[in-house]
Structure 1
Amino acid sequence: MTTFTDAHTHVISTDFDAYPRDPIGGKQSTWSEEHPVDVDGLLAAMDAAGVAQAVAVQASTVYGHDNRYLAASVAAHRDRLVGVYSLDAMAPDAVATIQRWQEAGLNGFRLFTTGTTMPGQADWLGHPDSYPAWAYAEEHGIPVCLQMTIDGIPALQKTLERYPGSRVVLDHCARPDLSDGAPYRTSHGLFDLAAFDGVHLKLTHRAIGAAAKGASTVEAFLDALLSTYGSSRLMWGSNFPAADGSLASLVKEGRESLAFLDDADAANVFGGTVRRFYAMAEASANV
């Protein structure tokens, strides 16, 4: 049996005074206003869904770069959660900020360059002012999570050429347009990134949904990813509670959508890859 690990969840406190809202871009996301989930709610949802462990990614459209609630949540549940903090890589003190949150027990940072409240692709990705953060992450083996679009791939490629040892995971597979179907020429940049060994992809509900549009099918997209990246660089994430529905329903949807994977590939996608990427100790609960 596979230890089921969710690569992409969020936690939001109900204590507005202790953890005030300060979203990146100045606008809070609709989902976080309509159906927020705190850490106790996340753990309860994980138990109900048979999820042993999860990566809690900073809710950037709620707290911006204030990662205190995330850090407190992870500190209280290290056996179940790993935390990924939000970072302003352009800030002069970016390296000191990385050191601060790593010492607080979080594991890797997220660069938020697009989202529902910030459509398009931010032009600061790959800017020289961000190089100290990339250099420090490469030197110390710190994972980098990227919320970006396909349009940001040239800037990412330029950065990875400078820091080829970087360990990177792309949220939602960088939001590709897959409607043209295999061989996916519209999103060729996503497959070009496979040349960098440290690049990994998150197969979230958003990415799986994109793979089912137009001339594409989920199986054809996965076949293309498996042939270029291999399952050891692919990880499934629910995006709970940003995604509509319960965590249990999202897990069910993920299992059904990827039911064609063989046992070895499924073991990687639904747990093995993310645990290796974030050096997570495997939980004892199996599903």
Structure 2
Amino acid sequence: MNRRDIVKGLAALPLVAAFRPLEGVLASHPAKKRLIIDTHVETWNFDPRFPFKHPENPNLKVQIEAPIENQIGQMKDFGLKYGVLINPRYYGWDNSYMANCLKTYPKHFVAHGLLNPADPKIADNLRYWVKEHGFQGMRFSPIYHPKEKWLNSPAHYPLWKEAEKLGAVFNYYIVPHQMPMLEDMAERFPGVKIVIDHAGKPDLKAADCWPEFRKMFKLKRFPQVWISNSEPYEMSEIKTYPYTDTLPFYKAIYEEFGAKQIIWGTGYPRPRWELPMDKELEFVDKYCDFYSDEDRELILGKNALKIWKFPRKA
């Protein structure tokens, strides 16, 4: 079960059940005095100004909001300094809500939108969101198109060239067999910074997922590539915290890429029915015991400063 399944399933639950995991979480969990940046914040609300247009599931019924104000509260409660906004796909190719969030809280966030990979004007669309709305990058999700080859098609070369000119960042929701296509583009366009979401999505249901998973390791030779070692519930088959079946994969990424090419993010603000913020941080601090304290400083915050240009706070 993934996040999309959970969203659907919550329709049958009393609302209080969705919030029960948060009881007592926000009361007193002071963060350590360190830089913490949430590099993956998917936020949405039910404001009619921003209608949902999910490209793969237009009839999806989302039951619970995760508005930007919730993330502001989380940042205050846990000492997070910045966040990277990601269009959650509910809005399709319309990034207006992300633009509104960025405009409303310009000292807290940078933003990524979505672009239709099949749009012949995709490079122009990238330029529009960067130039007109101050976005710093885009997220692409080839995971939804497992048989398509658009990721490294010549039709996308102008997109990547434009990204190099603009200094845009691309993050990818991608599965292991698609990694060679991303490797091809990283080789061709070294000026584009790349973030791989969800630790590359190893398939823990497979009898042996390691041969496919290791395809991602070839990307370690590119200094412009970072892996998001976050959201363990996305890959876990145990589905119970602390998701111990995911730890060998996070450790392998650490051993291959090193702490300088790893970042951290949570997915979305409260309501976090999968993992509340205190557990998100505990997972890194306690259960990822192969990280040193210096590694955690890089992963939780300092590495993000090399990827995005965050606003200076007064």
TM bucket (normalised to shorter chain) is 0.7 to 0.9
CA deviation digits over 1:19-42, x for unaligned, max 9? Answer: 111012134666xx1332111122
The separation in 1 between residues aligned to 2:223 and 2:47, in whole angstroms, is: 41
1:244-255 matches, within 5 Å, as 244-255=274-285
1:51-91 deviations in Å (ceiling 9; x for gaps)? 2221111111x101100110110111121111111112432
State which of 253, 265, 285 in structure 1 corresponds to 2:295. 265
Letter in 2 for 1:107: Q
Matching residue of 2:44: 12
1:42 pairs with 2:71: yes
Q: CA deviation at 1:164?
A: 2.9
Helix, strand or coil for the counterpart of 1:228? helix
Moved more, 98-107 or 123-132: 123-132
C-alpha distance after superposition, 1:177-198 (max 9, x if no partner): 3689999434111111112221
Is the 2:233–2:274 Cα contact (8 Å) retained in structure 1? no
Tell me the SS of whatever aligns to 1:63: coil
> 2:10 is matched with which residue?
none
Given that 2:176 and 2:212 are in contact with CA atoms closer than 8 Å, whether structure 1 keeps it comes out as no
Partners of 1:246 and 1:36 in 2: CA distance:
15
Q: How does 1:26-37 map to 2 (within 5 A)?
A: 26-27=57-58, 33-37=62-66
**Bigger shift: 104-113 or 62-71?**
104-113
Amino acid of the structure 2 residue aligned with 1:43: I
After superposition, the Cα gap between the structure-2 partners of 1:158 and 1:172, relative to the gap in structure 1 and judged at 3 Å, is same
Q: Cα gap change, 1:179/1:240 in structure 2, threshold over 3 Å: closer, same or farther?
A: same
For residue 107 of structure 2, what is the amino acid of its counterpart? D
| SS state at 1:26 partner | coil
Q: In structure 1, what is the Cα distance between the partners aligned to 2:291 and 2:140? A: 30
Work out the number of aligned pairs and report it: 276
The aligned amino acid for 1:6 is D
> Does residue 306 of structure 2 align to residue 280 of structure 1?
no
* More deviation, 152-161/79-88: 152-161
Aligned partners of 1:264, 1:208: CA distance in 2, in Å?
26
Query: 2:70 is aligned with what amino acid?
Result: G
Using a 3 Å threshold, how does the CA distance of structure 1 residues 22 and 98 change in structure 2: closer, same or farther?
Answer: same
Distance in 2 between residues matched to 1:234 and 1:28, nearest whole Å: 36
In 2, the alpha carbon distance for the partners of 1:67 and 1:133 equals 18
Query: Are 1:73 and 2:105 matched, yes or no?
Result: no
Aligned to 1:228: 256
Distance 1:29 1:130, change over 3 A: farther
TM-score (norm 2): 0.77
Which secondary structure state, in structure 2, belongs to the residue aligned with residue 25 of structure 1?
coil
Residue 200 and residue 147 in structure 1: after superposition, are their counterparts in 2 closer, same or farther (change >3 A)? same
Match of 2:152 in 1: 126
Q: Contact 1:180–1:215 at 8 Å: present in 2 too?
A: no
- Secondary structure of the 1:34 match is coil
Among 126, 133, 153, the residue aligned to 1:98: 126
1:51 and 2:62 are equivalent in the alignment:
no
Contact 1:108 1:142 in 2 (8 A): yes
Residues 196 and 148 (structure 1), Cα distance of their counterparts in 2 relative to 1, 3 Å cut? same
**Is the Cα–Cα contact under 8 Å of residues 227 and 263 in structure 2 kept in the other structure?**
yes
- Cα distance between partner residues in 1 of 2:119 and 2:265: 29
Kindly provide the amino acid, as one letter, of the partner of residue 46 in structure 2. T
Describe the superposition over 1:194-222 as per-residue Cα deviations: whole angstroms up to 9, x where unpaired.
1222111111223785498999662x444
Q: Which residue of 2 aligns with 1:238?
A: 266
Q: Flag the 1:121–1:261 CA change in 2: closer, same or farther, 3 A.
A: farther
Partner of 2:180: 154
Q: Which runs of 5+ in 1 are unaligned?
A: none
Paired residue secondary structure (2:152)? coil
For residues 7 and 240 of structure 1, the distance between their equivalents in structure 2, rounded to whole angstroms, comes to 10
Gaps of 5+ in 2: 1-32
Seen in structure 2, the aligned counterparts of structure 1 residues 215 and 261 have a Cα distance that, compared at 3 Å, is closer
Contact 1:180 1:186 in 2 (8 A): no
Give the Å deviation of 1:244: 2.0
The amino acid of 1:48's aligned partner reads D
Q: Residue type matched to 1:138 in 2?
A: E
Q: 1:180 to 1:37 in 2, by over 3 A?
A: closer
Task: Check 1:48–1:71 CA distance in 2 against 1; reply closer, same or farther (3 A cut).
Answer: same
Moved more, 122-131 or 63-72: 122-131
